[in-house]
Amino acid sequence: MNLLKTMNLTKIYGEDETQVHALNEVTIEIEEGEFVAIVGSSGSGKSTLLNMLGGLDTPSSGEVYVRNNELSQLSNEELTIFRRRNIGFVFQNYNLVPILNVYENITLPLKLDGVAVDEAFLSLITNKLQLQQKLEQMPNTLSGGQQQRVAIARALITKPAIILADEPTGNLDSKNGLEVISLLKSSAHEFHQTIAVVTHNEEIAQMADRMIRIEDGKAY
């Protein structure tokens, strides 16, 4: 069953002669449980595609379906709630809240949704990510690799069906980068999640079940 689908997805920035087709009639499907790498050169449109899949940006034309929901049919409030309950995001820059400790950063999506923390599940993922001794620490006391693990834990805590990761290893050295991707992949299998990772690293892309290549706004 496909969990993510786009139909003739197009995104145009600018007007007239300054127009840029970031995406040009992209039609893709990602199956439930797949670990997909979205690859392409800088400026090819891969991050734009990921933002569209996550409902963080709106298309100029075309459609995005997530769990059979066409995202443009949802109101802003419905889309916010839908994202929070179905999609976990992992970004290159971690996006941790500096005034919250590790525990508070991880559990923030649950607090925003008024959901009680499943402490057993929190313990499971923080052990898996080797964060169990870091829960009281502030983000600025952590290494880059540890901050990225916190971001992954935050993405996993809501038990989302989908994880979208945009260059999650971009600020890490190659050893930590491969480790982060391995953790994402094992988490996907353990928690039955679908993962799409934007990367320019071919070694990381080779770890995926399948690659979607984006060049000049078109998918191959």
CATH code of 208's domain: 3.40.50.300
Main-chain dihedrals φ then ψ at residue 170, nearest 5 degrees: -60, -30
Question: Within a domain: residue 63?
Answer: no
Instruction: Between 184 and 3, name the one with better pLDDT.
Output: 3
> Tell me, what DSSP letter sits at residue 158?
T
At 13, which helix (H) or strand (E)?
A: strand 2-13
Lowest-pLDDT choice from 44-58, 71-85, 178-192: 178-192
Question: Rounded to an integer, what distance in angstroms lies between the CA atom of residue 167 and that of residue 198?
Answer: 5
Question: Within a domain: residue 2?
Answer: no
Query: Per the structure, how many domains does the chain have?
Result: 1
Predicted pLDDT at 180: 81
Question: Within a domain: residue 135?
Answer: yes
Question: Rounded to an integer, what distance in angstroms lies between the CA atom of residue 173 and that of residue 63?
Answer: 37
Predicted pLDDT at 170: 81
> What is the residue type of 63?
E
Residue 211: domain span = 33-58+73-219
pTM for the full predicted model = 0.90
Question: Within a domain: residue 149?
Answer: yes
Question: Within a domain: residue 7?
Answer: no
Question: Within a domain: residue 8?
Answer: no
pLDDT in tens, 116-171: 999 999 998 998 888 999 999 999 999 988 999 999 999 989 989 999 999 988 87
Question: Within a domain: residue 17?
Answer: no
| Cα torsion 112, 113, 116, 121: sign | negative
